[in-house]
Structures are given as C-alpha cells and as structure tokens.
Amino acid sequence: MFKIFLNTVFRKLYLQKGYSLINILGLATGITCSLLILLWVEYELSFDSFHQNKSQIYSVYENQTYADGETFTVYATPAPLAANLKENIDEIDKATRISRTWGKLMLSTEGSTFVENSGLCVDPDFFKIFSFPVLLGNPNLVMPDERSIVITEKMSKRYFGEDNPLGKTISINTNLKYHVSAVLKDSPKNSSLYFDFLLPFNFIKENWGFNLNNWDSHAFLTIIQIKNNTYIPSLETKIKPYIKQNLKQSNTDLALQKFSDYHLHSINGNKLSPILYIRIFTLVAFIILLIACFNYMNLSTARSERRAREVAVRKVVGAHKRGLFALFMAESIFISLLAFGLAIVLVELLLPFFKELTQRDLTLKLSNPTLLLSFAAIVLFTGFVSGSYPALYLSSFKPIRILKGKLYRDSHLFRKLMVIIQFIISVALIICSSVIYRQLDFLQDKDVGYQKDNIIYIEMLDNFQKHYPKLKENLIKIPGVLKVTAANQMPINFTNSTSDISWKGKSKDAKDVLFQLSFVDYDFIETFEMEVLQGRAFSSKQGADSLKLVINEAAASVMNMKYTIGEKVKIWDYEGEVIGIVKNFNFNSLQVGVKPLLMLMSSDEFKYIAIKTSGDEQPIINKIRETWSKSFPKIPFSYRLLKDDFSYLYKAESRMSLVFISFTLIAIIISALGLFGLSSYIIEQKYKEMGIRKVFGAEFQNLLRSFLYRFLKWILLANLIAWPIAYFLMQWWLAGFAYRIHISWMEFLGAGLLSILIAFITVFYQSYKISTIAPIKAIRYE
C-alpha cells in the first residue's frame, strides 16, 4: 500500500516537474529559514541554563526613582547587601557578590608577564550557586582562603602549559601574591558570566582600598540562591524596603529577577533586548514558512482541475471524502518531508555564513531531542497548513459534475487572497527593512557633540596613574600627535553616576537627580572638540582647576541657576566651583537622551589615555607603540579606536538588521516564486484564448496589458494594506531610541514600486513566452 502511494506521488512529481520544483523549492526555502532561526533562538534561550539550581538563582537589582519621574533600573548594588540579605532573610540560602576587576591587571608567574581584564571578584558561595565544573582542586572548597586564585583551563595552559598549576603562585601588580587553588572548565559561550580567573572579593579592598562596608556605593552584582518552595512575591516584599534602612537616599527599592533571564530580559528600559529580537525573528520565521505554505496551497488549488477526474474516478469506485482528504494530506506531508530533507542540506551549507552573521556558535545537532521535536513539528505544521485547504477542496468535488465536464471555479478568490497576503507580508518587510537600515545609518552618522574620528585610546593598567605625566610628555612629542589627555571613561560610555549632589537653591525636600560624573585631565574638552557655551574649559595654567567643575547644558537646566558660572556645587564631601558649561553631547547610546553631567579633575581616577592624531593613524600608532615599549618594555601595548567602539555600540542592532534584511529578501523571493507559478498556470489556461486573440491581430502589448491588469490590482491592494501595518510597527520600534529618523513616504513608494517591478518582470516573462507560440498550437492546446 505504502509502495503504491510512493509510486503515485513520485509519478505526479515527475509529470508536473516545473510545478513540483516550485513547490518543493518554496517549502524548502521557508523551512531552511525557519531552521536557521530556530537554531539561533535555541542558542539564545540556552543562556545560563546549564546551572543545576537555575530555578533558584536570582539577581538582586535596584529601582531608583528620580525627580524627573524616570526610574533608573540597575544591577549595581552596595557591597554589604549580599551578606546582610543572607543573614537576615530565612528564604535566602546562599549569596555572593560579583564584580569585574576594575581595569587591566598585570599578572606574572616565574619569567612571564600577562595583562588581563577578564577576571571576577567573588565570594565563596559563588561556587555553590553556579555550576562551573572543577577540573583540578577540591570541588567542595574551591577558594579556601583570601590568597587563592581560581583559573580556567584555557588560562592554565597559557600560564603553565601542561604542568599541574595547583599551588603555583601568580603575582598581581607585582605586590600581591596568590596561589592557584583550582582549575575550572572554561565558561561556556552561552554564559552571562565570562571570566578567565576568579579572585576573593576582598581583592577590591586590598588592591584599590575600597570600603566594603559602604552602603552608598552601588557597584556590585548581588546574586542569591533561594530555598525550595520560596514564594517570590513574598520574598520581594521582604527585600524591597531593606536597602532603605542603610541608605541616605529614599528613592531606591530592591527587586528580584531570575538569573536565567539575565541575558534575555533587559531591566533598564531598553526595548531592544535579546528577548525582543527572539520574538521578532520567531515571527519572521513563522511568516516566511507561512508564505511558503501559501505558495503550495495556491498552486495546488490552481491545478486542481487536473486532478478532478482522478477524484471523480476514486469516488465512483467507493472512496469517501474522509479517505480522499487523508490521501491528499499524506501527499502534502510527504512533499513537506522531501522539502525538509533539502532544507537540512541547505542549512548545513548556509550555517557557516549564518554563524558569522549572528556571531553565535550555532550547531545542527540531529541528536538533540528538543531540536528533533521542533523539526517534526515544522514538518507536520508545513504539511498540514499547506495541504489542508487543497485536500479539503479536492475531496469535496462531486463526481457527477466532474464527469459531465462541469469543473469547479470556486477557489479563484482564495488564490487571489493568498497572493495578496504574500505581498502584504513582503511589502511590510521591505518597508521595515528600509526603516531599520536608515535608522542605524542615522545613528552611525549623527553628530554626537564630540570628535570621535582620529582618536586612539589606551586603557591604563591598575595603579598606572603615576606614570601618566611622563608618558604624556613623551607622546605629545610624536609627529602627528595633536593632543593627549586622560579620563576615567571615554565619551562613548559614561557610567559613573551619583545623586548625592547639592547646590545653592536646591530645596531640602526636592527629589534626587541622577548626575553622570567624569574625572578628566586638562585638554579633555579640547581633545574631543566639545563646544564651550559659557565660561571656559579646564586649563593647566590655572593651578586651582582641581577644585573646579565643568557641566553640560542638561546639568545647568536641572540646577536652574540664574548665573551658573562661579556657583558652588557639592558632590559628596567635595565642593567645586562651576567654571564652564559645554553643549550637550551624547555620552551613551543614542537609545537614551542626554543626562546631566559634571566633569571634574582627579588624576587618581584616570583609566584611559586618549590621543588625538592628525589622521594618518597607522604610522602614528607605530610611533606610539615604540614610545610605549621604551617606557614599559615588559607590558604589551594595546590600543583601541574610538570610532570603532562607537560603531560597536550598535553592533547588535546592525547584526540583527542584516539578518532581518536577509530574511526579507528570502520572503520576497518566495512570494515572487509563488506569483511566477500562479501566473504561469493562469496564462497556461488562457493559451486558447490568447491564440484566438492573436488570430484577430492582438499584439504582445495587448496581451501584456491584459495580464498586468489582473495581477497589478492585487499588488496595489496588498500595498494599501501593508503600508499602515508597517508604519505602526516601525513607529513602535523607533520609540526605543531617543534620537530617531522620521518615516519617509519614500519607504512606502519604494516598497510599492519594488513589488510592482517584481510582478511586472514575472508577468512580462510569461506573456512574452505565450506571445511567441504559434496561434494554431495555442488553439489546439486545450
């Protein structure tokens, strides 16, 4: 029975090679896109899922509400919080603080020196909460004392080769010595916590002198593991007011987030978090698969007349409607299975390019049960959706009508509807792709208020500030170096902030305002060509400038001072005089607006050296490398270009836009393929009519006009429906940016013209082909 079924299917595929090829290619293309997106989604959802107690691990974050009504949500919490929560709240079983090592550290072993910035400082509970496998050492006591360092397998090989590293000494910044107590397996690529080494949390106090009992400094990630059967809303109620007992500010509450959601769900109001992209591309995969299914449905119903006699004969010899429906559904599922087989081959071929595009380590593991279930679901979905209507339509034929030659014409409206829906989706995707591309191009080219070209910057080693004056003196002598300055952060990402600020006229009852802080050197404002609106910039000729402030327009507006220049502003226990106001500049991603900013001088805080060049960067970089090597022969030279880091701010959006545009092109191709198949069939049906018209003198232009009118009215209707859909979708997406483009009518006109062009090319080809057939052959065709 099954053999007969296979023979029948393959014979039909062979006899209708052109349409079979269009059907299988269309379905295979749709399935390929779905599988690629499925692999990417599966990878994104796998982040942090390898931890054994993942359902009990939570991040503690802060909601800080300020005078403008904005709630600033951050993972940064005070150092004493973790221990206090564990000690005072019964539901909390374990707690750890996590901090990146601040800046670059110099690590050395016997005879070798390395510069590292991929370390974490953690508490002992870190190893009980998270499941990073221990390869060497005691898994029950990974970090036994304050002089332990835990390293990864990769770092162990780099530092010690194939030797056993346990017990060996690693010096940090030459003065602090640690012994290797354990070696961990390298952290997986789908881990939110990436590190090469782990240090005791006390390193922050020992190396930087930081007060770990300070509740007013919010700088650390707090992770807790809760006990079984803990009711989270009740726990949140307990911890929510907890921080207010120890803080000066009354604007901060605590909340919890599952650590497994740390990667996927943004908590800082950023709409462009990974979970959003997962939803968007899951929808795109579904839409592309649906378009492919519509093609199949369209072509199957269009060619139903050719199978009408088969249905009639089967019914005459006893076949029931249910049995015929099952037969046609089985054919559809079998063709979907063939398309799936081709799709698997295409995925294997395209996966290296897709990995490069998404920057993810994706693999097609056919042994993965979850993937296998997903694959089966895709095949069944494709088979059922694409085959359901044709099967229902064919199985409902009445044998008497068919045998009398009365063929069904009921499905024409359905076929038109399928084409219209396909082009609604395609046109909407074209418009969305255009808007996304223009927005990202706008972000790259927008004047951010400072010079980002021809700026090289070097990250200082820890405790390196004492060498900066001499290095600056040597660097400025290099031909092509125009300016040298330093700061604790570069303008692309000002992250230091405080609300502990007061000024003349500020009401005691006023709500706190969050100000960004930047500690800068002389020439900082000139190096980055920031515009001074009032007063002056810092100057080395003014000896007292270490007690001065330069603020931006947003800060001046918040302070609402009548005469800002010369006014006093108190930050913590420091009081400075405002000497200048700079024009607002964007010191973060353009997804957020400009915040109030205070710049002050403090060489102890410097982390970066910025060098402005005349433009011919590579020869100048070589000279800078030589100067560095002479000054610090044991320390490797590394640098970054500010313009590259600025572009990196939107790397995720740019990458996703490329993926989106790629899948949009595929959706257009599938739609065009469907239109080609359908137009081919409709024109084929009109062979006799066209032959008669040619006998009576009809020209190619007349034939083309006749067919164009039929198809273009569908395409125009699709455009009219797609335009408002795309407009509202893009307005919603653009709302995630503080700076954004205006959607232009050109986007809609361009998408409309492109869809018309696709229809024109398709119909032109088919019309031209029929016009070349001799009328006598066309008349005899039917």
- Residue by residue, DSSP assigns 600-663 as EE-GGG--EEEEEE-S-HHHHHHHHHHHHHHH-TTS----EEHHHHHHHTTHHHHHHHHHHHHH
Bridge-based pairing of strands 548-552 and 574-582 is parallel
Residue reference for tokens 């919490």: 77
Residue reference for tokens 């609402």: 560
So what's the pLDDT on residue 221? 94
> Is it the case that residue 570 has pLDDT exceeding 60?
yes
* Cα(200)–Cα(218) distance, integer angstroms: 19
pLDDT band at 250 (very low <50, low <70, confident <90, very high): low
Nearest to 201 by CA among 75, 288, 79, 350: 79
Nearest to 198 by CA among 136, 119, 252, 276: 119
> CB-based burial of residue 2 (10 Å sphere; 0-12 exposed, 13-18 middle, 19+ buried)?
exposed
* Cα(478)–Cα(476) distance, integer angstroms: 6
- Helix or strand run (H / E) with residue 532: strand 532-535
Sign of CA dihedral 107, 113, 115, 119: negative
- More reliable by pLDDT, 101 or 307: 101
Bridge-based pairing of strands 148-152 and 176-184 is parallel
pLDDT band at 318 (very low <50, low <70, confident <90, very high): low
Task: Dig out the tokens for 347 from the structure.
Answer: 């995925």
Nearest to 288 by CA among 616, 100, 27, 91: 27
So what's the pLDDT on residue 55? 92
Q: What is the dihedral angle through the alpha carbons of 570, 574, 580, 586, rounded to the nearest 10 degrees?
A: -80
607: three-class secondary structure by DSSP: coil
What are 112's strand-pairing partners? Answer: 109
DSSP letters spanning 3-17 = HHHHHHHHHHHHHTH
Mean pLDDT, all residues of the chain: 82
- Over range 309-320, report the average pLDDT: 61
What are 254's strand-pairing partners? Answer: 62
Q: pLDDT exceeding 70 applies to what percent of the chain?
A: 82
∠ Cα 748 752 755 (to 5°) = 140
* pLDDT tens track for 450-480: 888 899 999 888 777 888 889 999 999 999 9
So what's the pLDDT on residue 584? 92
Choice among 55-64, 65-74, 130-139, 266-275 with the minimum mean pLDDT: 266-275
What are 580's strand-pairing partners? Answer: 535, 550
Are the C-beta atoms of 386 and 296 separated by less than 8 Å?
yes
Name the pTM for this structure: 0.82
pLDDT band at 769 (very low <50, low <70, confident <90, very high): low
- More reliable by pLDDT, 774 or 685: 685
Report residue 424 CA to chain centroid gap.
26
* pLDDT tens track for 154-197: 999 999 999 999 999 999 987 889 999 999 999 999 999 999 99
* CA–CA distances in Å: residue 312 to residues 307, 323, 326, 387: 9, 13, 16, 19
* Cα(81)–Cα(249) distance, integer angstroms: 15
So what's the pLDDT on residue 273? 74
Produce one character per residue of 388-408: b if its CB has 16 or more CB atoms within 10 Å, e if not: bbbbebbbebebeebeeeeeb
Choice among 128-137, 361-370, 501-510 with the minimum mean pLDDT: 501-510
- Of 118-127, 561-570, 587-596, 668-677, the range with the highest mean pLDDT is 118-127
So what's the pLDDT on residue 148? 95
- More reliable by pLDDT, 589 or 524: 524
Are the C-beta atoms of 320 and 311 separated by less than 8 Å?
no
Choice among 176-190, 307-321, 559-573 with the minimum mean pLDDT: 307-321
> Is it the case that residue 492 has pLDDT exceeding 60?
yes
So what's the pLDDT on residue 320? 64
- Of 186-195, 615-624, 682-691, 731-740, the range with the highest mean pLDDT is 186-195
Q: pLDDT exceeding 90 applies to what percent of the chain?
A: 27
- Helix or strand run (H / E) with residue 175: none
Residues listed for the chain? 782
* Cα(514)–Cα(249) distance, integer angstroms: 11
462: three-class secondary structure by DSSP: coil
* pLDDT tens track for 323-336: 667 777 777 788 88
* Cα(425)–Cα(418) distance, integer angstroms: 11
pLDDT band at 124 (very low <50, low <70, confident <90, very high): very high
Nearest to 687 by CA among 757, 602, 766: 766
pLDDT band at 152 (very low <50, low <70, confident <90, very high): very high
Are the C-beta atoms of 537 and 517 separated by less than 8 Å?
no
- Largest Cα separation within the chain, whole Å, is 106
> Is it the case that residue 298 has pLDDT exceeding 80?
no
Task: Dig out the tokens for 449 from the structure.
Answer: 């208020």
DSSP state, residue 523: T
What are 119's strand-pairing partners? Answer: 197
So what's the pLDDT on residue 693? 61
∠ Cα 496 72 438 (to 5°) = 90
Residue ranges in 228-273 assigned as alpha helix (H): 232-239
> Is it the case that residue 386 has pLDDT exceeding 70?
yes
So what's the pLDDT on residue 68? 63
* Cα(320)–Cα(5) distance, integer angstroms: 17
Are the C-beta atoms of 79 and 224 separated by less than 8 Å?
no
* Cα(384)–Cα(389) distance, integer angstroms: 9
DSSP state, residue 768: H
* Cα(777)–Cα(756) distance, integer angstroms: 31
Nearest to 693 by CA among 766, 764, 773: 773
- More reliable by pLDDT, 683 or 39: 39
* CA–CA distances in Å: residue 201 to residues 114, 655, 690: 21, 36, 84
- Over range 1-17, report the average pLDDT: 58
> Is it the case that residue 271 has pLDDT exceeding 60?
no
Return the half-sphere exposure (C-beta side, CA atoms, 13 A cut-off) of residue 658: 12
Residue reference for tokens 């002992």: 124
Produce one character per residue of 15-34: b if its CB has 16 or more CB atoms within 10 Å, e if not: eeeebbebbbbbbbbbbbbb
- Over range 761-769, report the average pLDDT: 72
What are 74's strand-pairing partners? Answer: 62
> Is it the case that residue 695 has pLDDT exceeding 90?
no
DSSP state, residue 56: G
* Cα(8)–Cα(15) distance, integer angstroms: 11
Are the C-beta atoms of 607 and 487 separated by less than 8 Å?
yes
pLDDT band at 368 (very low <50, low <70, confident <90, very high): confident
Task: Dig out the tokens for 505 from the structure.
Answer: 């006229």
Q: What type of residue sits at position 85?
A: L
What are 107's strand-pairing partners? Answer: 114, 172
- Phi and psi torsions of 147, nearest 5°: -110, 20
Within 10 A of 674 (CB to CB), how many other CB atoms are there? 27
Task: Dig out the tokens for 730 from the structure.
Answer: 């893009």
> Is it the case that residue 432 has pLDDT exceeding 70?
yes
